[in-house]
Structure 1
Amino acid sequence: MNVYNSGTALVKQIAGTELPEQALALWALGQEGFLVKWKRITVLFDPYLTNWVYELCGPPWSRAFEPPLAPSDCLDVDYVICSHHHEDHMDKLTLQAIGQSAKTRFVVPRAHLPLMKEWGFRDEQLIGISHGQTLQLESGLRLEAFAAKHEQFEQDEAGEHKFLGYVANFEGIHLYHAGDTVGFPELVTWLQSRQIDIALLPINGRDFVRNEQGIVGNCNYREAVEIAVQMNTDLLIPMHYGLFPHNDENPAYFVDYIQRHYPAQKFHMFAPGERFIYMK
Structure 2
Amino acid sequence: MLIQAFQKYKELLNDIKSSIHQTEGFRVWWLGQSGFLIQYLGKHLLFDPYLSDSLTKKYANTDKPHTRISELVIDPSELDMIDVVTSSHNHTDHLDAETLLPIFEKNPTITMVIPEANRKFVAERLKCDKDFLVCLNDNEHIEIYPFKLYGVPAAHNTLERDENGKLKYMGFVAEFGQYKVYHSGDTLRYDGMVDILKPYNVDIAFLPINGNKPERKVAGNLNFEEAARLGKEIEAKLVIPHHYHLFEFNTEDPENFIVKADDYGTPYRVLRLGERIEII
The alignment covers a number of residue pairs equal to 272
Identical aligned pairs, as a percentage? 31
Distance 1:3 1:182 in 2: 28
Distance 1:87 1:230 in 2: 30
The reply to whether residue 222 of structure 1 matches residue 225 of structure 2 is yes
The aligned counterpart of 2:133 is 126
Could you list the per-position Cα deviations for residues 117-167 of structure 1 after superposition, in whole angstroms to 9, with x for gaps in the alignment?
Answer: 22222345321111111111113x211001100121112222211100010
Distance 2:112 2:34 in 1: 16
Runs of 4+ that moved beyond 2 A: 1-4, 18-21, 122-125
- Counterpart selection for 2:29 from 27, 30, 39: 27
Could you list the per-position Cα deviations for residues 221-248 of structure 1 after superposition, in whole angstroms to 9, with x for gaps in the alignment?
Answer: 1111111111111101111111112111
- Counterpart selection for 1:81 from 86, 111, 116: 86
The RMSD of aligned alpha carbons is 1.6
Check conservation: 1:235, 1:266, Cα contact below 8 A: yes
Give the aligned residue type for 1:162: K
Could you list the per-position Cα deviations for residues 155-201 of structure 1 after superposition, in whole angstroms to 9, with x for gaps in the alignment?
Answer: 22222111000100011211000000011231111111111110000
The aligned counterpart of 1:154 is 160
Report how far residue 41 of structure 1 moved. Answer: 0.7
- Contiguous gaps of at least 5 residues in structure 2: none
User: Aligned to 1:185, what secondary structure does the other structure show?
Assistant: coil
Give the aligned residue type for 2:241: P
TM-score by length of 2: 0.92
Report how far residue 116 of structure 1 moved. Answer: 2.5
- Counterpart selection for 1:66 from 65, 71, 78: 71
Could you list the per-position Cα deviations for residues 11-37 of structure 1 after superposition, in whole angstroms to 9, with x for gaps in the alignment?
Answer: 11111114343x110111111001110
Superposed counterparts of 1:1-280, under 5 Å: 3-17=5-19, 18-21=21-24, 23-58=25-60, 60-100=65-105, 101-118=107-124, 119-123=126-130, 125-139=132-146, 141-210=147-216, 214-262=217-265, 265-279=266-280
